[in-house]
Amino acid sequence: MRILFVQPAPFEPGRLGLENAIWLSEPAAFTSLAAMVPDHECRILDLRLEPDSALNRELLAFRPDIVAVSCMTTDSYQAMAILQCAKNTLGADKVFCIAGGHHPSLAPYDFHQVSIIDAIAIGEGEDTFKELVAHLDQGGARRKLQRIDGLCFFDGAEWVTTTKRAQSRSMDSFPLPDRSLLKKYSGSYFFMSAMPMGSLSTSRGCAYDCNFCGIWEFYEKKVRFLSAARICDALEAMDESFVMFLDDNFLTSQKRLEELCDEIERRGIRKLYGAQGRADFVVKHPELMARLRKAGLTLLISGYETNDEQGLAALKKSSVADANKIAAKMLNDLGIAIFGIFMVRPDFTHADFDFLYQSIDEMRITLPIITIHTPLPGTQLRKLAQGNLLTEDVRFFDLLHAVTPTTLSREEFYTRFTEGWAKREWRNAPFLDFVKKRPDFMKITWRGLIHLTQMLVRYRPVATSPESHLRDEIGIIPADLTVLNAREKATDKAPIKTAPLPSSSKGLRIISDQAAE
Amino acid sequence: MTKSAATFLRDLRDEVESHPGTNHMFLCRLAWVPFTREDYLVASTQHYPLVGTFTRYLEELLLRAPTSEAKSWLAKVLVDEYGEGSDGKDHRTLYREYLVAAGLQGFDDLDTPLHKDVTAFVFEHLRIVKEEPFLVGLGAVGPGHEWSIPKMFPPIIQGLRKSGFSESSIVYFTLHALQDIDHGRWLEEALLLNASTSKAQQEIRRGTLLSLEARERFWSGVQDKVTRWRQPQNVHLRTQARGERFSLRSMAKEGLKDQLVRLRPPAQELTLRQLRAMTAVDKAA
């Protein structure tokens, strides 16, 4: 069978969003799925790197039997548009369309669209996809998929969810991802200046249950690891000098990380790495962090969220503010770049913003990534915030828009929020310290600096302007809505009073024939 | 070997219905992304210039129809386009009703800047119907338009309904989705009689594809307007994929001169007033 995997871009071109500006990782889900069906012809189309028309042309040239998309929350409309395009172009009965990934797994009802979707893969997809392809290849009926676990499909009368697939298979038993399918995008993936960048998942799941995160629900709080030997096999097969570990929480097991350091040393693998991990783990394992640094760990993305103890407790973060501060100091001392994620809550006052920014500056974060506390679908937080949502438009769940009422006016809120980006950018002192401490990283990524500079110079005016956020909300969230009047507004039938249209919105000048006639 | 006219037309219909111009991603997005009325208004101001011009293409082509039979087919479609079957309202009137529903307030002016690919669409079709052989023109207005519209409009209608437009305000679209099935059939009858030779088939197909290629660029242009009014400065990788990226690698590959040409601001966009003056569409309407 011919299988086309399509990676959606998160937004229609031109919308505010940080995705793709500072980090673009390989569509690792597709390389893993493709490796499960080696007897079939697979292609990957990454629409983050392609013009829109590439999809139509690939559909016509390749004529796939199956089109598969994988998506997070913000790109789920785009995923549906892709499947619509596939059905329209090839004919509804001539192509089988399947959606999988984070959002379809946690909110499958959003994809109950009979006209464009034949099935939804729930949870880990490898075995589900393999069995589905075998079923279709043997001429199995599209609407009789009951025997395949982990699917939701329309059986002709209703959407049926099959038995939940046990997510217990050892990661070592999966074949290594088929990265040969990404040859055409070779050199295109990056994190900041690290370009080209390889991507590798060495574990799945997270043992913590932070209420703003859906990862632990997706993986049912189980954590599985790839063995050190398999990780090193994969690393040795990669040409890239910089590899990003895509694990949701790389810093989990001391034992496995020590084994990984041993194996990297034993094989003499000389690459640099980035990963995501928790601050409290860093604090508890100073020797291990030093070893990881020696083995090549160069940057760590950590969700510090806030330095306010009550705030951390409210997020069920299971960490304390002191751990954030100590971890930051340790990482700075080791020369590991800190990409600290912080959360601005919609109920922030000016004093809260001041406190957050002051603590970020004190921690000397290499690049703070400031986000807005967002009740993402599938999280505990979403259940708590459901009645308070200002919109269900998934594009706004990008951590850059307040989807619940703010305490400050929206304009003030976004002014303070963007100030966080504007004043703490990559040219700051902690970044320059890192540059001095890590000539090895600069040596292998200097070419990527041109790309990074381009991206930041072009993106900065957008990321640092409150108007960017308010423009996205025109016609959707009233500009004058705050926590004080949210209830009243919710029952107000009057049309939404939007922010004044920006002067540059020339497209909104109205045509009138009468004027001409 | 020359295909039979029926086989040729069947293959051509498949080609039209699967063409990127007919299944543009912007149309697919309209079906699923909850665009606001403001977004629809921006899109409509770009789409509206096409509304009055289709009759103009038919009129031009009618003048060049080689036989009275061909003239009568074109006339039949033309009469329908003038408003028969829609309570006497011509298409511009129906479209204005939609524009009002999308937020048109008062009467501004005709100075909405049009995307260059919107104006290019009109110029290209006028060129085809005036300068190309008759069958090329017939391919453009027939399969190029009447076969593609019934496939292009359903996702637009889906999006409009999702955004809360009433049925009465979107008659322009719902009417076309049905009416153009009839028009397509009438023109198909004409094409059946004219598509028996290899040369005729090539000309009809050429016109069809010229129209659809212009259509593909047109939808990209409309999408660009819709997204850029919210974020005129935004940057995404796909922006680069469209070829606006300046890099040492691309400079080395393509030369500095080409790169600098790319970086120039877009040429002054025409307004609807200017477009109409240049194409004398008002006169025809």
Q: Which two tokens stand for residue A288?
A: 């291990």
Domain B5-232+240-284: which topology? Heme Oxygenase; Chain A (1.20.910)
Is the model more confident about B78 or about A92? A92
Q: Which two tokens stand for residue B34?
A: 């909850």
Average pLDDT, chain B: 82
Domain borders along chain B are 5-232+240-284
Q: Which two tokens stand for residue B163?
A: 């955004």
CA nearest to B225 within chain A: A507
Give me the domains of chain A, ranges plus CATH numbers. Answer: 2-161 (3.40.50.280), 186-466 (3.80.30.20)
In this predicted structure, what is the pLDDT of residue A490?
61
Q: How many CB pairs lie under 8 A apart between chains A and B? A: 207
The alpha carbon of residue A114 is apart from the nearest alpha carbon of chain B, in Å, by 13
Q: Which of A15, A451, A506 sits opposite B113 (nearest CB)?
A: A506
Say if residue A23's pLDDT is above 70.
yes
In this predicted structure, what is the pLDDT of residue B234?
60
Say if residue B279's pLDDT is above 60.
yes
In this predicted structure, what is the pLDDT of residue A378?
84
Percent of chain B beyond pLDDT 70?
81
Angstrom CA distances, A127 to A42, A130, A182, B119, stand at 16, 5, 22, 51
Cis before A502 (ω within 30): no
The rounded distance, in Å, linking the Cα atoms of B272 and B259 is 31
Inter-residue contact A103 to A71 (CB < 8 Å): yes
Residues of A in contact with B235 (CB under 8 A): 21, 455, 458-459, 462
Average pLDDT, chain A: 88
In this predicted structure, what is the pLDDT of residue A479?
77
The alpha carbon of residue B106 is apart from the nearest alpha carbon of chain A, in Å, by 8
Percent of chain A beyond pLDDT 70?
92
CA nearest to A455 within chain B: B235
Which residues, 6+ apart, have CB-to-CB distance to A184 below 8 Å? none
Euclidean distance between the first and the last CA atom of chain B, given in angstroms as a whole number: 43
SS (H, E, C) chain B: CCCCHHHHHHHHHHHHHCCCCCCCHHHHHHHHCCCCHHHHHHHHHHHHHHHCHHHHHHHHHHHHCCCHHHHHHHHHHHHHHHCCCCCCCCHHHHHHHHHHHCCCCCCCECCCECCHHHHHHHHHHHHHHHHCCHHHHHHHHHHHHHHCHHHHHHHHHHHHHHCCCCHHHHHHHHHHHHHHHHHHHHHHHHHHHHCCCHHHHHHHHHHHHHHHHHHHHHHHHHHHHHHHCCCCCCCCHHHHHHHHCCCHHHHHHHCHHHHHHHHCCCCCCCEHHHHHHHHCHHHHC
Average pLDDT over residues B147-152: 92
* Region class of A66: left (phi > 0), else alpha (psi between -120 and 50), else beta: beta
Say yes or no for a CB contact (<8 Å) between B234 and A471.
no
Residues of B in contact with A471 (CB under 8 A): 230-231
Say yes or no for a CB contact (<8 Å) between A13 and B239.
yes
> How are strands ordered across the β-sheet holding A197-200?
A197-200, A242-245, A272-276, A297-305, A337-344, A367-372
In tens, the pLDDT along B7-65 reads: 999 999 999 999 999 999 999 999 999 999 889 998 998 998 898 788 889 999 999 98
In this predicted structure, what is the pLDDT of residue B222?
93
In this predicted structure, what is the pLDDT of residue A22?
82
The alpha carbon of residue B160 is apart from the nearest alpha carbon of chain A, in Å, by 15
CA nearest to A510 within chain B: B108
CA nearest to B216 within chain A: A53
The alpha carbon of residue A19 is apart from the nearest alpha carbon of chain B, in Å, by 8
Q: Which of B28, B233, B239 sits opposite A85 (nearest CB)?
A: B28
Q: Which two tokens stand for residue A269?
A: 């693998």
Comparing A131-145, A478-492, B249-263, which segment has the lowest mean pLDDT?
B249-263
Say yes or no for a CB contact (<8 Å) between A501 and B38.
yes
Comparing A31-35, A384-388, A492-496, which segment has the lowest mean pLDDT?
A492-496
- State ipTM: 0.89
What's the gap between Cα B64 and its chain centre?
22
In this predicted structure, what is the pLDDT of residue A510?
33
Residues of A in contact with B228 (CB under 8 A): 14, 507
The alpha carbon of residue B237 is apart from the nearest alpha carbon of chain A, in Å, by 6
Say if residue A498's pLDDT is above 60.
no
Q: Which of B31, B225, B231 sits opposite A15 (nearest CB)?
A: B231
Is the model more confident about B264 or about A284? A284
Query: For residue A186, what is the enclosing H or E element?
Result: none
CA atoms within 13 A on the CB side of B134: 15
Inter-residue contact B238 to A13 (CB < 8 Å): yes
Say yes or no for a CB contact (<8 Å) between B237 and A515.
no
In tens, the pLDDT along A42-82 reads: 999 999 888 888 999 999 999 999 999 999 999 999 999 99
Alpha helices in A12-137 (DSSP H): 28-36, 53-62, 76-90, 102-106, 126-137
In tens, the pLDDT along A332-390 reads: 999 999 999 999 999 999 999 999 999 888 888 988 889 999 999 888 888 888 888 99
The alpha carbon of residue A315 is apart from the nearest alpha carbon of chain B, in Å, by 30
Say yes or no for a CB contact (<8 Å) between B229 and A506.
yes
Angstrom CA distances, A455 to A199, A433, B239, stand at 20, 22, 11
How does residue A421 score in pLDDT terms, banded at 50, 70 and 90? Answer: confident
Say if residue B242's pLDDT is above 80.
no
Inter-residue contact A472 to A498 (CB < 8 Å): no
**Interface probe with B: pick from A18, A88, A184, most Cβ of B within 10 Å:** A88
Q: Which of B18, B111, B233 sits opposite A509 (nearest CB)?
A: B111
The rounded distance, in Å, linking the Cα atoms of A79 and A100 is 10
Say if residue A9's pLDDT is above 60.
yes
In tens, the pLDDT along B159-168 reads: 999 999 999 9
Say yes or no for a CB contact (<8 Å) between B112 and A510.
yes
